[in-house]
Amino acid sequence: MAEHSYEFILALGVLSPLVSFWLLVFFGPRLGKPLAGWTGVFLGMGVPLACATYVLVGWLDAVETGEAAALTASAFRWHWANIGSVPVTIGVKLDSLTVAMYFMVTFIAFWIFFFSVGYMAGHSDEVDHQSKYHRFFAYLSLFGFSMLGLVVSSSLLFLFIFWELVGLCSYLLIGFYFDRQYASRAAMKAFITNRVGDFGFLIGLMLVFLHLGTLDLDEAARKFAQQYAAGTGLFASTYTLFGWSLATIMGVGLFCGAMGKSAQFPLHVWLPDAMAGPTPVSALIHAATMVAAGVYLVARVFRLMTPDALMFIATIGCLTLFLMALIAIVQTDIKKCLAYSTLSQLGYMIFGMGCGAWIAALFHLITHAFFKAMLFLGSGQVIEGCHHEQDMRKMGGLIRKMPVTGFTFLIGVLAIAGFGIPGTHFGLGGFFSKDEILAVAYARAFEWNEFKKHEVHKTSPTHSGGHALFEPGAPATGGVAMATAPRVHEVEAGVDFLLVSDPVPAAKPPRHGEFGKAAIFKNTKPLPNWMFYLALVTAYVTPFYMMRCWWMTFMGRPRDEHVHHHAHESALMYIPLLVLAAGTFVSSYFLFRPLIADAAVAATAAPMVQATDGTADTEAIHAAHHWLMYGVGGAFVVGFFFALVIYARGLAIAGAIKRTFWPVHALLEHKYFFDEVYDFLWVNGCLVVAKISRFIDTWFVDLVFNILASATERLAAFSGLILDQHGVDGIVNGVADTSLMVSDVVRGPQTGRIRNYVLFAAGVAAILLITMIVWYAAPSMATATPSGGSI
Amino acid sequence: MAIGLTHYLVIAAVLFAGGLFTMMTKRNAIGILIGVELVLNSANVNLVAFDRYLGPGRIDGQITAIFVIVLAAAEAALAVGICINVYKNLATVDVDRAAQLQG
């Protein structure tokens, strides 16, 4: 294995979609209808998928032989420029999380690109009476470039650049049918809402830049740890805002970016509207990959987080997961229903991050990506098959018309609902990942004191067995030891935090009811109980609305003959469904969780986090976990049961419930009136401010200008009429008139006759002579005649 | 009666008056030229007379008179040339008729 070859292969995979984008932009129209699409599929995502697969295979090997940590440490960095004294480097963040995310993104994106070819074949690609077919795949390729760039970025600056690029792609793709007003508005809404979050991100970034003096992720984490230990830099500041220290503000600021992109509670409003985009876009960007970027960001900057920041993150995540799940219950649009489910699941991931369930949250991210992409593609197939009908109330009984779609959709529903048998290895994605988050949340809420007591003293530098990925005790633990050593020092120095780590030997598939690596903080409050309860209740709500969605669409009697009659499915579109269904199974068991667990060791090595193996579980905790295990694991049974009770026989019961609880229904139907409130506060607020500004402008600013203008006008009139016409012009005209008058007079004697001139000359000479004689000569002649006579 | 300066001056004045009168009254260009010659020669008479009576032993006045004669010759040659051209163009030497350049 040549040095740095993984980085270069990953970078090649990043650049390939850019080439595809370039080709499609400039030569797209010439490639024509299916060819432009296939270019996008194979060059835009096929090559990256090949790169990802190659790297994944090699990387698994490297992890097993223990070379991975060394490869991570020696990953290529190119010093690009300096901003002031802060170096900016370009490089690939090479660790298990990157490899896992990269593979997940390329795999899902490839099949969604593939699906898009089938989808666009049946959809209008005309916008403004011009084919935009190539443009669709160009945007998808650009998205591929941006998303993969985001995943591999080793520097926060480049992460931010790619972050904005995926936001741009999201905007372009939501507004793909920009001649439809709702689409262009949704695109703007998404873009603007994301800007709000990115503003916070930028603040966080600036704090990193200013106080940590670096933008490299690893370097920033190292400096953060140093400053924490020494009490310098960020930690020397006594500045607080809402009781948050500067370090917390930095963490919260970075999280604000995630709030925008991952559509968390106050900024969630854009995601449901983003469903205006073509369905493959919803599947790829607004369900599987881009919206998960927020969670990825939090995972990447986890080492810069403080307990307060994480508590904020947990609160936001908790509110999102609960509130959005309730809205999903009343949605009738199949895509909107999935959108709210996505919001709720993103809430789970963010909540998990906030609890410190780093592994569980990312595991949930990846399992969710697979089944949610599949669900969205399924919904795309349904919408396509039913002639663009999205209202589930008009569907029903479609399973006979589109069996592949129906069954793969069911797999997705089971996965998201957390289907499995509690306490065993049997279950689908959400069963393990969501329940792991809940287990950690439970530990944070109720067992925190127990852990604190037991774990702190057990930690020692030699203790690292629980982290070994495939072979406990293998050289792979070198990285762990490195990460552990400084922490021990901090334990002795009275460190504030500790970490409950993965008790599951990662080589095995996860067993239900165990919980993963969790950061637990010594000197902070435990997680409020209500957060755990909300998350728990939502675990019951999720299967309910998903089963409702599936049943309304595929089961029961057809409610609209027209729709049902036309329903069909096409192979080009259901092949990706089958592949992603398989991916859902695989991602639930193998590959991803061990990889993430491997990355967790280094990626959560925050100065405030104390790693242990969590074997200190007390009897009481075990007992508690027992009911938790069944309570959470069995949630899907309860949810499915109620969904079937209500919807199995059509919509009558649901209608009755709706009428009975109409205020609740109205509240949910209107999404807690968030849009209205935002409209009132921000849109109207802006308008009011605009009107006030206009008033000030008209009556103050304009007034001054009007006075100035009229003064100028008067001055101009004065200077024009009085000064210019009578003054300046008067002088000039006067001179002219005078000249004319004088010339009239003077012209008289000028006869042109030479005789006259001679006469004048002679006459004048005579007059002069006589004058001289009279004035000079005469007196002298009178007195000096004698002398004159002597001549 | 001894001939004195006054006599010369009187003759010169008569000549001058005659020349001037000729210039004023003649419409013929040649006539005017003759008048000019009379005026110039009256000046010559004065010059020579003043030289003889006021600066005896000096020849300034006589030299100036020769200058005037030379100038008069040159002037006559030029003026006659002009007269010939005027005649060629207008078939007359009447100066009143030669008024084409008058504005």
* B10 touching A (Cβ < 8 Å): no
Under the banding of pLDDT at 50, 70 and 90, the label for residue A653 is confident
**Shortest CB distance from A753 goes to which of B5, B53, B96?**
B96
Residue A470 pLDDT greater than 60, yes or no: no
* Residue range A362-381: mean pLDDT, rounded: 89
At A582-617, the pLDDT tens digits run 888 877 776 777 787 777 777 766 666 544 334 344
Residues of chain B with Cβ-Cβ distance to A752 below 8 Å are 99, 102
Cβ-proximal residues to A655 (8 Å cutoff; 6+ apart), any chain: none
At A118-172, the pLDDT tens digits run 888 777 667 667 778 888 899 999 999 999 999 999 899 999 999 999 999 999 9
Least confident of A77-81, A370-374, A375-379: A77-81
Strands (E), A538-592: none
- CB–CB of A415/A363 below 8 Å? no
The residue in chain B having the minimum alpha-carbon distance to the alpha carbon of residue A751 is: B102
Least confident of A312-326, A494-508, A642-656: A494-508
Residue-level pLDDT at A493: 28
At A527-555, the pLDDT tens digits run 888 888 898 888 889 999 999 888 888 88
Q: What are phi and psi of A145, to 5 degrees?
A: -60, -50
Domain ranges of chain B: 5-90
At B42-64, the pLDDT tens digits run 999 999 999 988 888 888 889 99
Give the pair of three-digit tokens for residue A377.
Answer: 């593609």
- CB–CB of A141/A402 below 8 Å? no
Residues of chain B with Cβ-Cβ distance to A758 below 8 Å are 20, 23-24
Residue-level pLDDT at A162: 94
Residues of chain A with Cβ-Cβ distance to B24 below 8 Å are 755, 758-759, 762
CA–CA distance, A340 with A207 (Å, rounded to integer) = 33
Whole-model pTM: value is 0.73
Give me the interface pTM, i.e. the ipTM. Answer: 0.78
Residue with tokens 């193996």: A613
**Shortest CB distance from A754 goes to which of B20, B32, B53?**
B32
Q: Which long-range contacts (CB under 8 A, 24 or more apart) does A184-191 make?
A: A185/A273, A186/A270, A186/A273, A186/A274, A186/A275, A186/A276, A186/A277, A187/A276, A187/A277, A189/A269, A189/A270, A189/A273, A190/A270, A190/A271, A190/A273, A190/A274, A191/A167
Residue A452 pLDDT greater than 80, yes or no: no
Residues of chain B with Cβ-Cβ distance to A759 below 8 Å are 24
Query: Is B96 in contact with A762 (Cβ distance < 8 A)?
Result: no
Residues of chain A with Cβ-Cβ distance to B5 below 8 Å are 791
Residue-level pLDDT at A465: 32
- CB–CB of A220/A250 below 8 Å? no
**Shortest CB distance from A791 goes to which of B5, B95, B99?**
B5
Query: Is B5 in contact with A762 (Cβ distance < 8 A)?
Result: no
* Residue range A460-482: mean pLDDT, rounded: 30
Give the pair of three-digit tokens for residue B18.
Answer: 């005659």
Question: What 3-state DSSP class applies to A126?
Answer: strand
Query: Is A758 in contact with B24 (Cβ distance < 8 A)?
Result: yes
CA–CA distance, A146 with B11 (Å, rounded to integer) = 123
Q: How many alpha carbons fall within 13 Å on the CB side of residue A600?
A: 33
* B102 touching A (Cβ < 8 Å): yes
Query: Is B25 in contact with A755 (Cβ distance < 8 A)?
Result: yes
Residue A1 pLDDT greater than 60, yes or no: no
> In a mutagenesis test of the A interface, which of B24, B46, B53 is the best target, namely the one with the most A β-carbons within 10 Å?
B24
Under the banding of pLDDT at 50, 70 and 90, the label for residue A438 is confident
The residue in chain B having the minimum alpha-carbon distance to the alpha carbon of residue A755 is: B24
Query: Is B95 in contact with A759 (Cβ distance < 8 A)?
Result: no
Residue with tokens 């009897």: A619
At A8-53, the pLDDT tens digits run 899 999 999 999 999 998 888 888 778 888 888 898 899 999 999 9
Least confident of A354-363, A649-658, A685-694: A649-658
Least confident of A486-490, A712-716, B24-28: A486-490
- CB–CB of A258/A294 below 8 Å? yes
Q: Which residues of A touch B (CB under 8 A)?
A: 752-755, 758-759, 762, 791
Under the banding of pLDDT at 50, 70 and 90, the label for residue A54 is very high
Q: What is the DSSP string of A656-679?
A: HHHHHTHHHHHHHHTGGGHHHHHI
Query: Is A758 in contact with B20 (Cβ distance < 8 A)?
Result: yes
What is the rounded average pLDDT for all residues in chain A?
80
Query: Is A753 in contact with B20 (Cβ distance < 8 A)?
Result: no
* B66 touching A (Cβ < 8 Å): no
Under the banding of pLDDT at 50, 70 and 90, the label for residue A453 is low
Residue A429 pLDDT greater than 80, yes or no: no
CA distances from A412 to A168, A536, A581, A652 (A): 29, 20, 7, 26
Q: Into which CATH architecture does domain B5-90 fall? A: Orthogonal Bundle (1.10)
Give the pair of three-digit tokens for residue B46.
Answer: 């004065």
> In a mutagenesis test of the B interface, which of A743, A755, A760, A773 is the best target, namely the one with the most B β-carbons within 10 Å?
A755
Residue-level pLDDT at A346: 93
Under the banding of pLDDT at 50, 70 and 90, the label for residue A259 is very high
Residues of chain A with Cβ-Cβ distance to B20 below 8 Å are 758, 762
Residue-level pLDDT at B8: 92
Residue-level pLDDT at A401: 82
Residue-level pLDDT at A620: 53
At A390-425, the pLDDT tens digits run 888 888 778 888 888 889 999 999 888 888 777 666
Residue A632 pLDDT greater than 80, yes or no: no
Residue A486 pLDDT greater than 50, yes or no: no
- CB–CB of A437/A355 below 8 Å? yes
Q: What is the SS3 string spanning A455-521? A: HHHHCCCCCCHHHCCCCCCCHHHHHHHHHHHHHHHHHHCCCCEEEECCCCCCCCCCCCCCCCCEEEE
Cβ-proximal residues to A612 (8 Å cutoff; 6+ apart), any chain: A455, A458, A459, A463, A466, A498, A499, A500, A501
The residue in chain A having the minimum alpha-carbon distance to the alpha carbon of residue B97 is: A753
Residue-level pLDDT at A461: 33
Q: Which of residues 82-101 of B touch A (CB under 8 A)?
A: 95-96, 99
Query: Is B24 in contact with A753 (Cβ distance < 8 A)?
Result: no
Residues of chain A with Cβ-Cβ distance to B95 below 8 Å are 753-755
Query: Is B96 in contact with A791 (Cβ distance < 8 A)?
Result: no
Residues of chain B with Cβ-Cβ distance to A754 below 8 Å are 23, 32, 95
Most confident of A227-236, A279-288, A432-441: A279-288
pLDDT above 90 covers a percentage of chain B that reads 55
A730 min Cα distance to partner chain B (Å): 29
At A746-777, the pLDDT tens digits run 888 777 777 788 888 889 988 998 998 888 86
Give the pair of three-digit tokens for residue B55.
Answer: 């600066």
Query: Is A753 in contact with B95 (Cβ distance < 8 A)?
Result: yes
At A495-533, the pLDDT tens digits run 333 344 444 444 444 445 454 445 455 455 678 888 888
Residue-level pLDDT at A609: 56
Under the banding of pLDDT at 50, 70 and 90, the label for residue A201 is very high
* B27 touching A (Cβ < 8 Å): yes
Residue-level pLDDT at A363: 86
Give the pair of three-digit tokens for residue A168.
Answer: 């741009």
Query: Is B32 in contact with A752 (Cβ distance < 8 A)?
Result: no
Residue with tokens 């797209």: A28
**Residues counted in chain A:** 791
* B32 touching A (Cβ < 8 Å): yes
Least confident of A195-199, A351-355, A465-469, B2-6: A465-469
CA–CA distance, A571 with A588 (Å, rounded to integer) = 26
